[in-house]
Structure formats: structure tokens, C-alpha cells
Amino acid sequence: MEYIKRNQIKQNNLPGRIIQKAVGKDGFIKSNRMTMGFAYYSERCGIMEPHHHAEETVYIVDCKGGSVRYGKDINSLNNKTELEPGMILHFKELEWHVFEFNPKGFVDIIFFYGQIHNIRPEEILKMTEN
């Protein structure tokens, strides 16, 4: 068994979020089968751009004034759900989504992918072309 505490995982500051990769290809704990990590969204991270990727499950650890918008493409994120701690969200492969928050709010999640490869859209689309 391997274990780690969240505060021991390196923070990767990206536009609109802070990512901590716990398990997976680039994770603190290496895995060839799954990806798991943490993401934090707040004013100090900036505004996140809508994105899409591999099928994903998200657990809302904590939030204040947080929500998620989602839809079939970047121009039709018409569905909106207010977030609360303890919620589990499931995004279909390549489903567009964006986490948002009110002023002084935040969203803190755990994300899960059932794979370590072909997570980014360009990898998924390249796979379907072959």
C-alpha cells in the first residue's frame, strides 16, 4: 500500500485552477490504470475556461457559492447546477463544462479518470481517427 496526504502533493498552478495530481501517470503515486487528483478554483486562480476531456467523475469536497455549467459544446453551456459539498458529478467523454464561483467563493474537488492515457481532447480525437 502507498499513501500520501494532500498537503504533501505539489500544487500545479494552471489558468483558472490549482491541480494536485495524486495518482496516475504524472501523479505522486504512479498508476498505469487510473488518474485521481484534486483541483481548486477561486478568485486567486482566475477564471477557468470551459473545457472537455475524457469521461470524468468529480467529488465536491467543499465549496462556497460554486456552480458548474455544462453542455454539448463550448457555445451551449446552458445547463447549470449549484454545487454543495458531498455531491458527485459525472461528465461524459468530451462533454464541455466549467466550474464557476461567486465573488469570494471557491470550489474544491477530487477528480477521477478510469485511465491515464487519452485524457486530453486531442489524444481522444487522435485515437478515433486511427
Count of C-beta atoms within a 10 Å radius of residue 3: 6
The whole domain housing 32 covers: 10-129
1 assigned to some structural domain: no
What pLDDT is attached to residue 26?
87
Question: Residue 108, class by beta-carbon neighbours within 10 Å (0-12 exposed, 13-18 middle, 19+ buried)?
Answer: buried
Distance CA 49, CA 42 (A): 13
Torsion angle, alpha carbons of 67, 72, 34, 86, to 10: 20
- Name the pairing type of β-strands 88-91 and 56-71: antiparallel
29 assigned to some structural domain: yes
2 assigned to some structural domain: no
- For residue 117, what is the domain's CATH number? 2.60.120.10
What pLDDT is attached to residue 130?
60
What pLDDT is attached to residue 57?
96
Q: What is the pLDDT along the chain (130 residues), one digit of tens a residue?
A: 999 999 999 999 999 999 999 999 889 999 988 899 999 999 999 998 999 988 899 999 999 999 999 999 999 999 999 999 999 999 998 899 999 999 999 999 999 988 766 666 666 566 566 6
57 assigned to some structural domain: yes
What pLDDT is attached to residue 95?
94
Please give the tally of structural domains in the chain. 1
